[in-house]
Amino acid sequence: MNKYFSNINHIPFEGSDSTNPLAFKYYDENKIIAGKKMKDHLRFAMSYWHTMTGQGQDPFGSPTMERPYNDLDGMDLSKARVEAAFELMSKLSIGYFCFHDLDISPEGKSLQEKYDNLDIIVDLILEKMNETGIKCLWGTTNAFSHPRFVHGASTSPNANVFAFAAAQVKKAMEITKKLGGENYVFWGGREGYETLLNTDMGLELDNLARFLTMARDYAKKIGFTGQLLIEPKPMEPTKHQYDFDASTVLSFLRKYNLQDDFKLNIEANHATLAGHTFHHEIYTSRINNALGSIDANQGDLLLGWDTDQFPTNIYDSTLCMYEVLKKGGIAPGGLNFDSKVRRGSFQSDDLFISYIVGMDTFAKGLLVANNLLVDRVLEDFISNRYSSYNNGIGKEIIDGVTDFEKLADYALEHDQIKNVSGRQELLEDIVNRYIYKS
C-alpha cells in the first residue's frame, strides 16, 4: 500500500529530541503506561469526512486540497479514497476510522442507488480492514447535507423527511454492524431551529426521542451491540441545536427514558462553543456514567464556530486523558480526530503532519495525566479539601441522617466559620511542573 502517498514512508517513533516533522515525538504505540499499551489507551481514529472527503471549501472559497485522486469522480473516486484512507492509516499506525454513509460513496439518484453504492464500497472497506487489521470505531449517517434535510431530519416538520432519515440510519447501522463498528454516533446535524416563530419545539423534541427510540430498537433487533452515542453541540448549523451540551442531552435522555441506551461522544470544539471547557464536558459525562467516546480536536477561542482544528494544546489533552484514566479507559470508545487541516494547508503531507501533532499531543497528555494520577497530586488535595464530610456533621449530611432543624442547632454553636485556601495557583504550578517533566 504505497500508491497515493508514495513520498511518505511509515511514520516512525523517534522520541522527543527528534526534529523530523514526519516522526512521532511522544506517540510510542507499544509503550506500556499504567499496565496498558499507549495505543490501547488512546484508540486513535481517523475521521473519513475531514481526511478523505473534505476539500477545503469555505463560505468564501472553492476547494483547495491537492490530493492524488482529485481527477477521479463518482464510484471511482470513492474506491480510490478507500485505498488512500487505508494507506494513510497504516502509515500513521492509526487503528480505527469513523465515517458517515455519505463520506464513503455517492448519494445516487434514488435511495436504492444510495444503498447499492454503499454495499459496493463497504465490501471494499471490509477487504482493506482484513488486510490491515484496522477497525471501525464508529459509523454514523449524514442527514444534514442534502437539501431534503433543510428543516432537519427527525425534527423536520415534514414526516416524509423523518421516514427518509430513518431509512438512512437503518442502513448506516447495518453497515456499521457489518464493519464490526464498536459504536454508532448520532450527532444532531440540523436537529434544532432557526426561529421559534415557525417551530413546534415540543413536537420536534418528542419526535427526536421517537426517532432515537426506534433506532435503539432496531440496533437490538439486528444484534448491533456497539455503544449508541449522542454528540452534543450547541449551535451550527442551526442557531440552536437541541443536543446543546452534555447536561442538556442527559436531561433529554432521562425525560424520554433513554438514559440506559445512549452515552455521549464529547467533542472539544463543541464544548467551547457551549461556553464550557473540554474538561468540563468530559467530567460531566464521566460522573453521570455517560462518557462514551471523544472527538479530539480544538477550536480557535477567537472564532465562534466549529473550526475542527487538529489538537495541539497539551493542557487540554492532559485534562482529557486525566478523566479517561479516572474512568478506567475510553473503550469501546476512542479518540476520533474530528479535525481538518486548515484550508491553506493543502498538500497531502500536511495531512500526515497534522495527525502526527494531534497524536503526539494526546500521547504527551496521557503521560502527564498518568504521572499526576500515580502521584495522587490532585486526588489527595481534593479529598483533603472535602474532608469535613468524613466525620461529624459532614458525615451526617452524607449519610442522610440530619435535617434543617439539627443543622440549624449545630450552626448556632459553630457560627465562627474558618475556611481554607483553594490554592488554585499552587495547583496550576504543579500541573505545569508535571507537563515540563513528563
Residues interacting with ligand XLS, by CB under 6 A? 100, 140, 185, 187, 231, 233, 267, 295, 306, 338
Residue 140 binding target from ligand XLS, Ni ion, none, CB below 5 to 8 Å by type: ligand XLS
Q: Which chain residues interact with Ni ion by CB under 5 A?
A: 267, 295, 306, 338
Residue 138 binding target from ligand XLS, Ni ion, none, CB below 5 to 8 Å by type: none
**Residue nearer to ligand XLS on the CB measure, 8 or 185:** 185
- Minimum CB separation of residue 102 from Ni ion in Å reads 15
63 grid coordinates: 476547494
**Residue nearer to Ni ion on the CB measure, 5 or 337:** 337
- Minimum CB separation of residue 300 from ligand XLS in Å reads 15
- Minimum CB separation of residue 212 from ligand XLS in Å reads 15
Long-range contacts of 145-148 (CB under 8 A, 24+ apart): 145/102, 146/107
Return the percent helix, strand and coil in the chain, to nearest 5: 50, 10, 40
**Residue nearer to Ni ion on the CB measure, 304 or 422:** 304
**Residue nearer to Ni ion on the CB measure, 267 or 360:** 267
- Minimum CB separation of residue 274 from Ni ion in Å reads 12
**Residue nearer to ligand XLS on the CB measure, 245 or 338:** 338
Residue 100: active-site member = yes
Crossing angle for the helix pair 392-399 and 404-413, to the nearest 10 degrees: 170
The pair phi, psi for residue 26, each rounded to 5°, is: -125, -25
Separation CA 189–CA 356 (nearest Å): 29
**Residue nearer to ligand XLS on the CB measure, 100 or 171:** 100
290 grid coordinates: 455517560
- Among 171, 105, 161, 109, CA closest to 140: 171
- Minimum CB separation of residue 184 from Ni ion in Å reads 14
- Minimum CB separation of residue 236 from ligand XLS in Å reads 7
Radius of gyration of the chain (CA): 24
The answer to whether the beta carbons of residues 173 and 184 sit under 8 Å apart is yes
**Residue nearer to ligand XLS on the CB measure, 100 or 276:** 100
Which residue's Cβ has the minimum distance to ligand XLS? 187
Helices (H), 133-257: 159-178, 201-222, 246-255
Separation CA 140–CA 170 (nearest Å): 10
Residue 146: active-site member = no
Separation CA 207–CA 416 (nearest Å): 54
**Residue nearer to ligand XLS on the CB measure, 284 or 336:** 336
- Minimum CB separation of residue 64 from ligand XLS in Å reads 20
Q: What's the residue count for the chain?
A: 438
- Among 203, 186, 91, CA closest to 139: 186
The answer to whether the beta carbons of residues 46 and 378 sit under 8 Å apart is no
- Minimum CB separation of residue 140 from ligand XLS in Å reads 5
Amino acid 426 reads L
Catalytic position from the list 50, 100, 276, 280:
100
Ramachandran quadrant class, 308 (left: phi over 0; alpha: psi -120 to 50; beta: rest): left
Contacts of 239 (CB under 8 A, 6+ apart): 192, 193, 194, 195
Q: For residue 382, what are the β-bridge partners?
A: none
Residue 340 binding target from Ni ion, ligand XLS, none, CB below 5 to 8 Å by type: none
Catalytic position from the list 41, 50, 101, 103:
103
Contacts of 232 (CB under 8 A, 6+ apart): 188, 243, 244, 245, 246, 248, 249, 264, 266, 267, 270, 274, 281
| Catalytic (active-site) positions | 100, 103
